[in-house]
Structure 1
C-alpha cells in the first residue's frame, strides 16, 4: 500500500496538513516540520531517520532500512537553495558563497547540513538527520539488537560507566555512535554534572544535569569563531564531572587527551573510524594536526582512554561489533588490543 500525503504548499503551512501511514512525530517535531516546505511530511514522520535533497534533482529518504527515492513535489535549483538558506538561518547561522558548507541544529535535535554550488557541483545539497523521537537507553538499544541479544553486555557497559571509565565510541557516519554515547551517559549517576562540547549540538542525554556547549562560526568579517579546542579548555572551568566531546575530528584531540589525563574521569567522545583496528591510525592522524608526535599521542591516549567501543551499520541494522583497549606497541606507537565481547 502506497503512502498518501497532502502536499505542503508553503513554509507557513500547518503541520496538521501532513498525513500518511507513518507514525506521527512529537509536537515539537510537527511544529518544526512546516518550516521544511515540501519535505515537511518526512520531518513529521517518526520513522524517518534521514532526508537528502540532491541539487534540486531528487529526494531520498531512509526509514531505518536503507535509502529509497521519495515521491515529492519537485524542488528546482532556486527553491532548494532558498530552503537551505532558510533552514540554516533558523539554526542561527549563515550560508553563502563565502561560507558554502554549514551544519546547524534545529529544534528537537534535527540536524541540517548544507553545501552550496559550486562546491556542490550538481546544485545545492541538503542533508537532514532526524533523531529518534524517544531518547534511547541501554535497555532500548539491547532490545533493538545492538548488543547481540546478551544482557551481560549491557551489565558490562553499566559497570564501565559506574567505574568512570573514559570511553571512546568509534564507527562510520550513521552507525549509531551518538545514540550509543547518549545512552551510556544517561546511565551516569544523577548527581553528576555532564558538560558536552559539539560542533553542532546533537547529543540527547536523558540525564537531569547536562550543560551543552556548541561551536560558533566566524561572522561575515571573519571574526568571532569559537572552536572545539577552545570550548574544551573553557569547559574545564565549569567543574564537569563528565567531560564529553561529541566528535573528535581535528586538533582538539590534544585538549581532550590533556583533560582526560588531569583527573577528569568518566569522560567520553566519538571518533570516525572504519574498524576497531583503524582507531590508532585515526588518532595519530588527528594528533599530527595538533603537532603531536606518534609517540607523544600514544602515551597520552593510552593513559586517557580506558575503553573503545566500535559500532557498525550493515543492511540497515546497527550493532556493537567490537571493543578494545589502547596499548603501547613495542616501537612506542599506539596499538589496540581487542577485548572479550
Structure 2
C-alpha cells in the first residue's frame, strides 16, 4: 500500500505544474520529499504513486497479467478478476471505501464524465483499452462498485482460437466459408463468452481490399485488417446535448461507402439500428447480441425491437431478410467455445432459427438447418452425407469426394444463396 502522506506530498508537487503525470516527474517528487526509502523502496513508491495518480491504483498490478480480461471491485476488501476460467479473488485490496470512490471518480473524469450524486452510474472508455463502469451509493448498497473491462490489443487468429478449444476444424471451415460468401451473421452468447473476440477474428478474414465500418456504443473491436473505420457513440452532457447515438452513426456510415457494416453489441433499442444496417444492401456484416441459446435469438430480437417501438411483424421481416446465420457461444469449465451454428429464416409461425451444427463434447452434429446453411454457403446439400462429422472437415462429409478441400468449396461468388 502507498503511504498516504507520501502520496499527498507527491500529488501536491506533481499537480503544481501543468503537464502529464509521468514516472520521471513522480520519481523526482518522491526524491524531493526527503523520505529515505532505499533503491527498492523508491522504485516501489514511484510505481505505486504513478498508478494512484495516472493508472488504476491498487488494480494496476492486475493489468500486467495478459490473461486478465475483467476486474471487479465490490468493496475495499472484495476485488475479483477473470482470466477466462471464471471469477477468482484477486490478491489486492483498498485501504478504505474512500480510496475506491476516489479511484472511480478519477477514472470517470479522465473519460470526460462526472461521477457524483447527480450521476451515480457512469460508463466510460479510457485510453489504453479500458472500459470502466462505476456505481455510487445509495444506488449500490455495498459501497462504490467498479467494473473494468480490459481490451487487449492482441487479436487471435482462427488457428489460435481453434488451438484454445473455441471450435474444431469443421466449425472453422464453416466460419471461414461464411465470411468468404458474405453471409450476414449474429454472434450470440452470455457476457464474457467471447463474442467480441470471435467477431474481431472473423473480421480479420475479410479481403484487404474491403472497407470495414464498425459502429459501437463503446469501441472494443480491433480486427487485424488494413482498412477499418471505427465509430463510437457519444453520451450527452449534463444538459442532455451533444449526444450521438447509434442511429445517427448508422446514417453517417452509409455515406462512407462501407463494404461491410458491423454494429457492435446491442442491448436495447439499438437493435433497430443493427437490423437497419444489415438491410441496406451491405452483405457480410455482423454483430453481437446477448441470448441464452441460438434458438432464443428471435425472441431476444423481438423483445429489444419492442423497446425501439418496432412491431413483432417489423422485427420478423427485418431480421429474416438481414440475418443469414447465428453463431452461439458458451462459456464452460474448460473455456469459451462455439456451441451451435444456426440459420435464421421466416417460418410459417414467424421468425425461427434452425440448428445447422450443434457441438457436443467437441463433436459437431448436423441439425435440420444444415442443408439450408450449405445452400447459403454455395454448396450442394444433396452431395453431403451427414454421417461423417467426426472427420473434422467438409471434405469428410462427402464420401463421393465431390466437395473437395475447404478452399475448393469456398468459391468466389458473393451471393447469399437464398434462391
TM-score tier (shorter): 0.7 to 0.9
5+ residue gaps, structure 2, are 12-20, 28-49, 358-363, 365-419
Structure 1 runs of 4+ off > 4 angstroms? 7-15, 30-34
CA contact (8 A) 1:295 1:334 kept: no
1:251 alignment partner, one of 255, 269, 285: 269
TM-fit CA distance, 1:31: 9.0
Matched residues in 2 for 1:216 and 1:339: separation? 38
For the pair 1:226 / 2:244, whether they are aligned, the reply is yes
Q: Is 127-136 or 44-53 further displaced after alignment?
A: 127-136
Which is greater in Rg? Answer: 2
CA contact (8 A) 1:114 1:124 kept: yes
CA contact (8 A) 1:104 1:111 kept: yes
For the pair 1:299 / 2:317, whether they are aligned, the reply is yes
Q: In the alignment, which residue of structure 2 is the partner of 1:138?
A: 158
For the pair 1:336 / 2:356, whether they are aligned, the reply is no
Instruction: State how 1:1-341 maps to structure 2 within 5 Å.
Output: 7=1, 14=23, 35-147=55-167, 150-315=168-333, 317-331=335-349, 333-340=350-357, 341=364
5+ residue gaps, structure 1, are 1-6, 18-29
TM-fit CA distance, 1:120: 1.4
Deviation per CA, 1:225-259: give whole Å up to 9, x if none: 11122212221111111111111222222232223
Normalised by the size of structure 2, how large is the TM-score?
0.71
CA contact (8 A) 2:263 2:277 kept: no
TM-fit CA distance, 1:85: 1.4
Matched residues in 2 for 1:120 and 1:281: separation? 31
Matched residues in 2 for 1:176 and 1:75: separation? 34
TM-fit CA distance, 1:172: 0.4
Deviation per CA, 1:128-160: give whole Å up to 9, x if none: 12234521122211111100xx22321221111
SS at match of 1:339: strand
SS at match of 2:352: strand
CA contact (8 A) 2:153 2:222 kept: no
Matched residues in 2 for 1:192 and 1:294: separation? 34
Deviation per CA, 1:74-132: give whole Å up to 9, x if none: 24221111101111222233333232222222233222211122211111110112234
CA contact (8 A) 2:185 2:323 kept: yes
CA contact (8 A) 1:103 1:200 kept: no
CA contact (8 A) 2:51 2:60 kept: no
CA contact (8 A) 1:161 1:188 kept: yes
SS at match of 2:141: coil
TM-fit CA distance, 1:57: 3.7
CA contact (8 A) 1:64 1:316 kept: no
